[in-house]
Copies of this chain bind each other. A is one copy, B any other.
Amino acid sequence: MAMDFAPLFRKDLPPPADPWTGFPEYNFTGGHQDPDSIPIEEISAAVTRVLAREGGTLATYHLESGPLGYFPLREYIAAKLSERAGLHCDAGQVLVTSGSLQALDLANAVFLEPGDTVIVEAQTYAGTLSRLRRCGVDWIGIGIDDEGLRTDELATALEALEGRKVRPKYIYTIPTVQNPTGTVMSRERRLELLRIAGKYNVPIFEDDCYADLLWDGERPPALRALDESGSVFYCGSFSKTLAPAMRVGYVVADWPVLSRMLSMKFDGGSGGLEQMVIAEYASAHFDAHVNALNKTLKAKCDAIVSALREHFGAAAEFRVPRGGIFIWVTLPDAVDTSRLAEVALAEGVAINPGAEWSADPQRGRHSLRLCFGNPSIETIREGIARLAKICHRETGIPALSANVAQPPIPLASG
């Protein structure tokens, strides 16, 4: 006689999780990394070194560094941001988090109440949208072009909100290697964004998780680096550059914001061993590691771009990313990517349907996000070929595959 828990659950829970059944054969979802790029030996050596030196500090919560996180890691993050993003801060402005997801959670915990409004990019990180949904918050999506977030649209939106006496809690942007579009906001656009945000007195939440994976072109300074009004708070992560399964991200903010986030961080600190290891490893090896990783990722990006061209031809529209681990592809209106994702998954190909990555799900329903960091080049080629085949069978698109015309097939009814 098992207890029936159902009447005891909160009323507003999401559906229960399904049991995990393993990764699909062709996995183009998730921010996974290239397994061969994990610097196993250097990480092992870093662990041995840092534990021999100060392993006893694992006996205390926060490693004798206080709740902001392991002090040498915060110092390293400050040095890295200064060098790579033009962002000058000190260790007292850095809060180490359990991945950048906790940074999102802390920002939302500090700022958001049901009924609030935030600004996001028209295509944006699905995990941000699902969080905002759970917070009961309204969002407004601002379009993106080759220069990044469209500041003309932003100005119009903020003026309209001001007319309704609505002050958005923040503008959430991923300016460098935007997720999912891979765009990089130009320096001019950054300055314009700061000017407009300042005019309407709205903070900017800069999510810079992918910026170290910019492999092509010069990295513009972070928004927080260009800001003179103290209106930008910033987050980053080692998940994308080092290892997703190590959960180490960070927030950079001034004390009035950081002290509020800290007072909402009830976790007894983020993982101490992972913080120690990353600090020890990264201060010696990060730059060389990321340079090599970016070459690997660029080769995978080239592979997916050429596979898309080969198998989807003109049916697939996309910008070639300048960095990162994903590409945003738009198919003709006849393709509903949520439906395609379902069918493809049943045949071993996982994709992110565009609706989940769009401020307006309707506008994203012909697009998809394809992650290429984890699969091998061979797997990428096979997977895209298989996806094209499934898509063709289900929708008649692409009409051509592998430069060979496919026989016409009626639109699937189901």
Contact = CB atoms under 8 A, between A and B. Distances in A.
A269 B99 CA distance: 9
Contacts of A270: 98, 247, 271
Contacts of A9: 110-111, 260
A289 interface: no
Nearest to A201: B3
A229 interface: yes
A48 B231 CA distance: 44
Given A16-B256, A23-B60, A34-B59, A102 B245 contact: no
Given A55-B43, A109-B10, A17 B48 contact: no
Interface in A265-322: 266-274, 277
Interface residues of A, number: 97
B273 A277 contact: yes
Interface stretch (A61-69, A171-179, A358-366, A404-412): A61-69
Contacts of A395: none
A13 B244 contact: no
B271 A3 contact: no
Given A112-B10, A268-B247, A57 B32 contact: no
Contact of A271 (B61, B68, B98, B255): B98
A230 interface: yes
A37 interface: yes
Contacts of A165: none
Interface of A: 1-3, 5-6, 8-11, 13-20, 22-23, 30-38, 40, 43-44, 47-48, 51-52, 55-64, 66-68, 92, 98-99, 101-102, 105, 109-113, 127, 130-131, 167, 169-170, 201, 203, 228-231, 239, 243-247, 254-257, 259-260, 262-264, 266-274, 277, 374
Given A10-B111, A31-B61, A101-B266, 4 more contacts: A10-B110, A35-B59, A37-B59, A246-B273
